[in-house]
Structure 1
Amino acid sequence: MGAEEESTAILYPFTISGNDRNGNFTINFKGTPNSTNNGCIGYSYNGDWEKIEWEGSCDGNGNLVVEVPMSKIPAGVTSGEIQIWWHSGDLKMTDYKALEHHHHHH
């Protein structure tokens, strides 16, 4: 999985359809209001670990929504990790949605 991952990273596995690339990959986070956060959507493709980086700040209610176009993820990829690298306060993923698939994280 790549040595460049930070030891403090928080990792959430995800699964998606291997061929449907319409719409957005939407991730919902909950954390400290107005905190600064970043991370990536990571996946393995042709034996290489690829990542799509994201960043954002929680709003006054502690909500952060990250949207990445599904078209950025190559066809054939069916799983990977949602990673939180940096969070100035607390941050956790509550759920993610890739098209018709909706996954709630307990």
Structure 2
Amino acid sequence: MDGAEHEIVGVVADTRDYGPDTDPFAMAYVPAAQHPVRTLSLVLHTATPPAASADAVRETVRALDPDQPVYDVTTMATIAEQWVSGNMAMVKMLVVMGAIALLL
């Protein structure tokens, strides 16, 4: 990373940060306090319904720092649907173009 010593606090599987159609790759996560960024994403795996978890996360963040916004809360199912719908639009367009080419 930057030559400094780092303490490993956990290990996760390789990620597909750029979409399900990309190859997984290794990722190093660091504390936000040590490497501040303009935006931050939080991903949760819960046993409860996502809506209930979202409310709990909002309350926890508000208790820690009321000035930190929590926005764009969504489920992985919704993200997957959006990704698939984008690809399906392309497939439909190709089918229509293929049908037109076949008729010509």
TM over 0.5: no
Higher strand share: 1
In terms of fraction of residues, the more helix-rich structure is 2
Relative contact order, CA 8 A, sep 6+: which one is greater?
1
Based on CA coordinates, which of the two structures has the bigger radius of gyration?
2
